[in-house]
Amino acid sequence: MTAQTAFDLIFRNALLRSSAAPVDIGVKAGRIAAMEPRLACEGVEVDLGGHLALPGFVDTHIHLDKACLLGRCGHNHGSVSEAIRAVAGMKKDFTVEDVYARGARVLERAILNGTTRMRTHVEIDPRIGLRGFEAVKSLKRDHAWAIDLSLCVFPQEGLTNDPGSDELLVQALRDGGEAVGGCPYMDADPNAHLARIFDLAQEYDVDVDLHLDFDLDPSWWHLDEVCRQTERRNYGGRVAIGHATKLSALPPQRMQAATAQLARSGIAVTVLPATDLYLMGREATHNAPRGLTLAHKLAGDGVVCSVATNNVLNPFTPFGDASLLRMANFYANVAHAAVSDFDTCLDLVTELPARLMNLEDYGLKVGNPADLVVLDTQDSRFAIAELPDIVMGFKSGRQTFERQRPTLFRPQS
């Protein structure tokens, strides 16, 4: 037992993934000041009762600006291009207020589901202009009490073939864009598209997060060019690719080579189970392919990976509740994850996406922000399997939400 000066807050009996027994966490000025088996000191106390404490879930890829669009369009979009066209037809009429309201609906669900860090992709082009960007910047400001929101600006419908998009991207990067994305499969000149995205990333010193190789034809891809640009510009560790469903269509020998290439280049992969499963394999009349890249296998071979939300209630994915715990469970089911893989599947929505986003202050460590969420389980190995309730959350030592545990009302004897 160690005597300490008073803390602003003490979490008693917190079970960490790294600890065999519960520990106490002392918080001062919004940061973790001490972690010991028993803190002998004064302070407001929250007894976690030996339940699992995580530093919050990390969502690396979500689209807040085009969330919650069901009801504004038809629901029978069977391909990526059809979904893109459906949203393109609507977004010219998006207002700042509309994007803000829809984005807030999803962002607040994410907070209640334990997400504390998030990267949202924001479309920039002449149809939407900077309206979506301005709305999401306001969401970032207004919800900073509960979540750290990072903005990745990108041209969904191409760049070299879409006059005016480049200038808008530059304006967004000058005005708060924290990463730059791209969508080369939508461009008439994919390699020029990628070169320009990397140019912008270097000019504004931001990371690259691309939508890439989003189909099941393994005979061609843009991954080689992304690796070439990454290595030529010494950008390893600062590049991520989302979807990458082509990887799921590779035979073992080619997959082994691609995995080595990704690890060597320092390129991370984000798998988006809900969208990838919904849109891939639509041409099959039977025995449809899943189109899901196996992130936990890639991670085991040295590739930084994450599992993320992507779209919620729109033509790309007409489902969703912004729960990363549910998404990790969904992924584990479809990816045939073994019980021995459950820890890695939890890593895919916590530690690994934090690495992907280069979050140096993430994690339950002394000196880091006192961000944590509490799960109603006393065994981290089964958090993915059992989907325990997320009962409360804290941001910088301040409580942000609480969920009441369900109660059974048994008949009187």
- Residues 227-281: tens digit of each pLDDT: 999 999 999 999 999 999 999 999 999 999 999 999 999 999 999 999 999 999 9
Where residue 75 falls among pLDDT bands split at 50, 70, 90?
Answer: low
- Taking the C-alpha atoms of residue 173 and residue 204, their distance in angstroms, rounded to an integer, is 7
Right CATH for 2-55+363-402 from 3.40.50.40, 2.30.40.10, 2.60.120.1030, 3.40.50.2300 = 2.30.40.10
The answer, yes or no, to whether residue 1 has pLDDT greater than 70, is: no
Q: Do residues 292 and 273 touch, judged by C-beta distance below 8 A?
A: yes
- Taking the C-alpha atoms of residue 62 and residue 60, their distance in angstroms, rounded to an integer, is 7
- Structurally, at CATH architecture level, domain 57-356 sits in Alpha-Beta Barrel (3.20)
Q: Amino acid letter at 267?
A: I
The answer, yes or no, to whether residue 4 has pLDDT greater than 60, is: no
Quick one: pLDDT at residue 74? 66
Domain positions in the chain are: 2-55+363-402, 57-356
Quick one: pLDDT at residue 30? 98
Condensed to tens digits (0 to 9), the pLDDT of residues 366-384 reads: 999 999 999 999 999 889 9
State the chain's mean pLDDT as an integer: 96
Three-state SS for 365-392 is: CCCCECCEEEECCCCHHHHHHHCCCEEE
Condensed to tens digits (0 to 9), the pLDDT of residues 190-220 reads: 999 999 999 999 999 999 999 999 999 999 9
- Taking the C-alpha atoms of residue 290 and residue 310, their distance in angstroms, rounded to an integer, is 17
How many CA atoms does the CB half-sphere of 183 hold within 13 Å? 22
